[in-house]
Structure 1
Amino acid sequence: MNHPISRRTVLGLGLSAALGPAFGGPGDAPAPDLHRQLLALAEAQEARRRARFEAVSTASQLDELRASLRGSFLEMIGGLPSAQGPPTARIAGRIAGDGYAIEKVLFESFPGYHVSALMYRPAQGGPAHPGILSPCGHSEVGKAHGTYQTLHINLAKRGYVVLTYDPVGQGERSQFWDASRGRSRYDLSCGEHCVLGNPLYLLGMSFARYRIWDAIRALDHLASLPDVDASRIGCVGNSGGGNLTAYLAAVDDRVRVPVVGCYITSLPRRMANRIQEDPSSDPEQDPFGFVGRGIDHAGLLAMIAPRPTLLCSAERDFFPIAGTRATFEEARHLYGVAGAEDRIGMTIAPGPHGLSRPLREAAYAWFDHWLKGEPKDARTPEFAASPREPAELHVCSDGQVNGALGSRPFLPMAWEEFQRRPRRPKVGLKTLLRTGAGGIDFRLRDEAAGGREGRPLILLVNGNEAPEWRRERGFIDALSAAGYAVRSIDPRGVGSLRVPLRSRGERYDDPLSGVEENLAYNAFLAGESLVAMRVADVLAAVAGPATAGHAPARPVVLCGRRDSALVAMLAAAVEPRIAAVAVEDVPLSFLPLFEAEGLAINAASLLPGLLRDFGDIPEILAALAPRPVLAASCRGSLGRTLRGVQAVGDAFTTKPAVLLDWVVAAG
């Protein structure tokens, strides 16, 4: 029997004051699905932010807004490192072109952490040239993509010194390169970004932090060159490179003229279409609280104002063009407040996502006007360019910085840097799990009714990475035969409450491009996590509906496996009415995520800030003491003996006696 939770049910249980309003309407009207819940939350956050921006009417108010946004953004990504002087750099080779030259450059953004780059220079000498930094978008060959080569050749032939480089996880900077197969173990477009970026949420950081730092150190190198005028520096990027251009210009005023390609929109609109149209994982574009803390893309442009900024967009982009237009109007208002409305521009090309020729030509004209003083409407057609084969542009002898060059692998470096940071005061799990999403949305199902008096209720928490518990009939029948009442729960977005959308991921829970992964990123943007929301659902069930019909109220044993195991552990850690917890097939530590080999984890199983502000899974289990915990067929090691925790090698799903014997022994 299913027991849907509606507004009326929650109010009847007296839970509304503690848990906030429930989703749903009168009676048992169905609640909006998780996707729509998150969109509603983001749209409300956007409305508050827009009102704040619209209220800015003086230059001093704009300055206050910019300072506030920059502080929030830097805090949100985990701050930035510091360094003195330009980075260690060397030239690894040169190529002569027609009217330009290319230098192959290696520089270190952290000591021993190498960045492969190309410097495009004009063939003619003369006074110092304006400089252009050009971070790349999502291309498997990184800086060697043909479109980027065309852009950079044209800029060099127009008199600019251009520095472009491979983003980490792309081109020559694969972190998971399989030399025997000549390819990444994931992919060099978005897959590596997911594996590199997701663990950083646990540290209270964003992958954006390290990408921005690479760009800052690239800018340090470019500005240090004797033939570059450091007062005339622009930045241009497309897609992921547009994202990084906007980030860099927002935090580094040395970027005098940014051109942002195929990125700017409004995030609630992007949240609405990402699963269907572009479900690849980009944790660098989804910092925790980006929408919830009132920043969004309009906030990035506010931080840049009043520097001359051009938005290059595509009519049929998966970054919704309606959001681009709305954000442009917000930016134009703020630039107008600064008396600089002519310094914000937008070019929209027909066609899909991509730095097409019309957008490139608009970029050339924008740079020529603002960095070289040429008339604003003067446009020179693009020169024909013949892109080289990617291998010809390799900076490293074997085409990978982590190969013969021996660059430091990213994940261990990020962990080591985190370990050196000053420790923050620890906070309680209740604080980390606090959710402002509002509402409770879950479904209960009787799997085995009745049960003998004095026996606890077994509550099985469903997840998306394992079959629903109701399919494990042999397991449930064994519990029922032993005299236990059994119920299962679908927290929001799980089982009967799955969002009815499809992505190109092979599975709903695909950690690289599945529906679940993208829902988790949407939650992060709003300052929420699916983990916390699902814990809230389980706690609401334990508070009343799950034990309804059992008088006196029975103790509850929570069971979870794979992704639902973490939900079960966290719920029990903050709710003493949960008598015991049994988990199966779950990692016993998050620390292996920071090993060089890399492990894919679904963002839906991440609680941002957990390792920074509380601790690892052993600390969660320690918070359950003295209540008993069964860890069955789990991965890794706890590293120490914990009171009340029994680890066994057999899975209780396939060997119910493991669970039954433990429950009896636990009393």
Structure 2
Amino acid sequence: MRHVTIDSGHDYNRPMREAMYGWLDRWLRGRGDGSPVPEPEVRHEDPALLRCYPDAPSRPATIVTIPTFAHREAAARIAAVPRAPDHVQAWEAEAVAIRAALADEVLGGLPQAAPPRAKVAFDANRRLWTIEMSPEPGLSLRGFLREASLREGEVAPQGLVILSGEEDVTPESALAMGQAWVRAGYATFVVELRALGRLKPDTSEVAGAVDHNEAEWGIWIGRPLIGQWVFDLLQWIEVIGEVQARVSIGANAILAHLPLSLHGRGATGTAAILASAFAPKVTTTVAEGSLVRFVGPVPLPWSSIRMGLIAPGILKLGDVGRLASLTAPRRLVVVGGVGTDGEVLPKDQLEAAFVHARTVYGNYSADAALVLKTSLEEAGLPPER
């Protein structure tokens, strides 16, 4: 084996090729000493001569573009998924199989044990707890816990909200991100997930995807990034349950018995929808500005959306709207949902994306628990006391 380093871009240039020729000559053909072998000059063919169909009119109608082909195949998979059952018992039996397949065959496996005991530190000036945890060996994540703003006479917060997003999580950003919830009487826990914010690998954008490389790595190891984000969220839920018994937050001391909510923004909102399927402790899930469908009525480009959301095989189980049914009958709030082109869906298309979930929630007589709106304000979040 020989390691040759050549400073170059994303290519396989002539010095690289000539080094390989020499190596192959020595070890596969028994010739030379392994030194680079000069490459003969190559005459490039006229691209027009290489085209199967030189222009659009000559191309048969059966030949389609890759986006059109992908959309057609994806739509066929969605069409093959069973419709929502008309009663709760049938859905709950179906949901058991969907959860198992989602966890093991799509997301790459979920936590089998709680993480080690988290490290906790208190910043008295900011009234902010820093919590560090290791969701699995070799990885450390941070979160910031803040007490609620209680009114006179109130003895406990309205609830505890775990918030996540794509940006860096710092004490300052945590204070800003949770401010509205704090004013509404909720304790907030702003957490970071792997490969986002400060933990995003220093990789360049590829074809408009800011996380192309790390998303690709996740696929290679059978653990797509969205599965790893779900993994982290589930571990954070375990951590906050353990930490609540250890910290006293002034008037917010009784945290262990508070209603628990998940609020994800951007890519983490889609992850929150999937995580809630495996977290019965979560009473409310909020997805803000998040991808809510992989397949729309027409082919669309993938733009302004993290590639880490792509999980091979997910459409065999359904689109986001069907997987969201696993949260029923607990509250699910989707605001400003977007398509693969990064554009916010109009209200009618948002409803169409969640028609399966709407049926399942109806079976539970919990129609009001599924909230589909275009903004947090329209959804009444954070709620007024």
Counterpart-to-counterpart distance in 2, 1:315 and 1:91: 36
- Does the alignment pair 1:53 with 2:53? no
Aligned residue among 110, 114, 118 for 2:140: 114
Distance apart, 1:196 and its partner CA: 2.5
Asked if the contact 1:129–1:228 (Cα under 8 Å) also holds between the matched residues in 2, the reply is no
- Does the alignment pair 1:232 with 2:255? no
Asked if the contact 2:277–2:324 (Cα under 8 Å) also holds between the matched residues in 1, the reply is yes
In structure 2, the partner of 1:43 is: 75
Aligned residue among 300, 314, 324 for 1:290: 314
Distance apart, 1:246 and its partner CA: 0.7
Aligned residue among 239, 245, 257 for 2:284: 257
In structure 2, the partner of 1:313 is: 336
Q: Secondary structure at the match of 1:218?
A: helix
In structure 1, the partner of 2:97 is: 68
Task: Give the AA of the match of 1:172.
Answer: R
Task: Give the AA of the match of 2:89.
Answer: S
Distance apart, 1:194 and its partner CA: 3.1
Task: Give the AA of the match of 1:256.
Answer: T
Q: 1:87 to 1:294 in 2, by over 3 A?
A: same
Distance apart, 1:164 and its partner CA: 1.2
Q: 1:324 to 1:83 in 2, by over 3 A?
A: same
Q: 1:273 to 1:142 in 2, by over 3 A?
A: farther
Counterpart-to-counterpart distance in 1, 2:225 and 2:80: 27
Q: Secondary structure at the match of 1:117?
A: strand
Q: Secondary structure at the match of 1:113?
A: coil
In structure 2, the partner of 1:82 is: 112
Structure with greater proportional strand content? 1
Aligned residue among 324, 327, 333 for 1:301: 324
In structure 1, the partner of 2:15 is: none
Task: Give the AA of the match of 1:242.
Answer: G
Counterpart-to-counterpart distance in 1, 2:272 and 2:238: 15
How many residues get paired?
317
Distance apart, 1:266 and its partner CA: 2.5
> Structure 1: 5+ residue runs without aligned partners?
6-23, 177-183, 350-356, 366-378, 381-667
In structure 2, the partner of 1:478 is: none
Asked if the contact 2:169–2:197 (Cα under 8 Å) also holds between the matched residues in 1, the reply is yes
In structure 1, the partner of 2:367 is: 341
In structure 2, the partner of 1:248 is: 275
Q: 1:122 to 1:306 in 2, by over 3 A?
A: same
Q: 1:273 to 1:149 in 2, by over 3 A?
A: farther
Q: 1:71 to 1:262 in 2, by over 3 A?
A: same
Q: Could you list the structure 1 runs, at least 4 aligned residues long, displaced by more than 6 angstroms after superposition.
A: none
Counterpart-to-counterpart distance in 2, 1:66 and 1:127: 35
Counterpart-to-counterpart distance in 2, 1:161 and 1:143: 17
Task: Give the AA of the match of 2:64.
Answer: P
Q: 1:294 to 1:91 in 2, by over 3 A?
A: closer
Q: Secondary structure at the match of 1:204?
A: coil
Counterpart-to-counterpart distance in 2, 1:358 and 1:96: 31
Distance apart, 1:40 and its partner CA: 0.9
Q: Secondary structure at the match of 1:119?
A: strand
- Does the alignment pair 1:164 with 2:164? no
With normalisation by structure 2, the TM-score equals: 0.72
Q: Secondary structure at the match of 1:274?
A: coil
Distance apart, 1:223 and its partner CA: 1.7
- After superposition, give the CA deviation of every residue in 1:354-405 in whole Å (9 maximum; x if it has no partner): xxx626x72212xxxxxxxxxxxxx46xxxxxxxxxxxxxxxxxxxxxxxxx
Asked if the contact 1:302–1:331 (Cα under 8 Å) also holds between the matched residues in 2, the reply is yes
In structure 2, the partner of 1:134 is: 163
- After superposition, give the CA deviation of every residue in 1:152-201 in whole Å (9 maximum; x if it has no partner): 12222333221111222233334x4xxxxxxx4548xx977433331232
Q: Secondary structure at the match of 2:234?
A: helix
- After superposition, give the CA deviation of every residue in 1:520-543 in whole Å (9 maximum; x if it has no partner): xxxxxxxxxxxxxxxxxxxxxxxx
In structure 2, the partner of 1:274 is: 301
Q: Secondary structure at the match of 1:65?
A: helix
Aligned residue among 213, 221, 229 for 1:211: 229
With normalisation by structure 1, the TM-score equals: 0.43
Asked if the contact 1:116–1:173 (Cα under 8 Å) also holds between the matched residues in 2, the reply is no
- After superposition, give the CA deviation of every residue in 1:477-525 in whole Å (9 maximum; x if it has no partner): xxxxxxxxxxxxxxxxxxxxxxxxxxxxxxxxxxxxxxxxxxxxxxxxx
Counterpart-to-counterpart distance in 2, 1:29 and 1:105: 58
Q: 1:233 to 1:329 in 2, by over 3 A?
A: same
Task: Give the AA of the match of 1:324.
Answer: L
Distance apart, 1:215 and its partner CA: 1.1
Asked if the contact 2:330–2:369 (Cα under 8 Å) also holds between the matched residues in 1, the reply is yes
In structure 2, the partner of 1:358 is: 377
Asked if the contact 1:264–1:311 (Cα under 8 Å) also holds between the matched residues in 2, the reply is no
Counterpart-to-counterpart distance in 1, 2:306 and 2:382: 31
Distance apart, 1:237 and its partner CA: 1.2
Task: Give the AA of the match of 2:193.
Answer: P
- After superposition, give the CA deviation of every residue in 1:578-629 in whole Å (9 maximum; x if it has no partner): xxxxxxxxxxxxxxxxxxxxxxxxxxxxxxxxxxxxxxxxxxxxxxxxxxxx
Asked if the contact 2:292–2:338 (Cα under 8 Å) also holds between the matched residues in 1, the reply is no
In structure 1, the partner of 2:358 is: 332
In structure 1, the partner of 2:4 is: none
Distance apart, 1:320 and its partner CA: 3.5
Asked if the contact 1:73–1:295 (Cα under 8 Å) also holds between the matched residues in 2, the reply is no
Distance apart, 1:281 and its partner CA: 4.0
Counterpart-to-counterpart distance in 1, 2:172 and 2:349: 28
- Equivalent residue runs for 1:486-525 within 5 Å: none
In structure 1, the partner of 2:8 is: none
Counterpart-to-counterpart distance in 1, 2:59 and 2:156: 76
In structure 2, the partner of 1:538 is: none
Counterpart-to-counterpart distance in 2, 1:80 and 1:149: 30
Distance apart, 1:81 and its partner CA: 2.9
Counterpart-to-counterpart distance in 2, 1:30 and 1:248: 40
Counterpart-to-counterpart distance in 2, 1:61 and 1:107: 39
Counterpart-to-counterpart distance in 2, 1:205 and 1:315: 24
- After superposition, give the CA deviation of every residue in 1:529-582 in whole Å (9 maximum; x if it has no partner): xxxxxxxxxxxxxxxxxxxxxxxxxxxxxxxxxxxxxxxxxxxxxxxxxxxxxx
Asked if the contact 1:131–1:222 (Cα under 8 Å) also holds between the matched residues in 2, the reply is no
Task: Give the AA of the match of 1:257.
Answer: T
> Structure 2: 5+ residue runs without aligned partners?
1-48, 246-253
Q: Secondary structure at the match of 2:235?
A: helix
Larger Cα-atom Rg: 1
Distance apart, 1:112 and its partner CA: 4.6
In structure 2, the partner of 1:599 is: none
Asked if the contact 1:238–1:260 (Cα under 8 Å) also holds between the matched residues in 2, the reply is yes
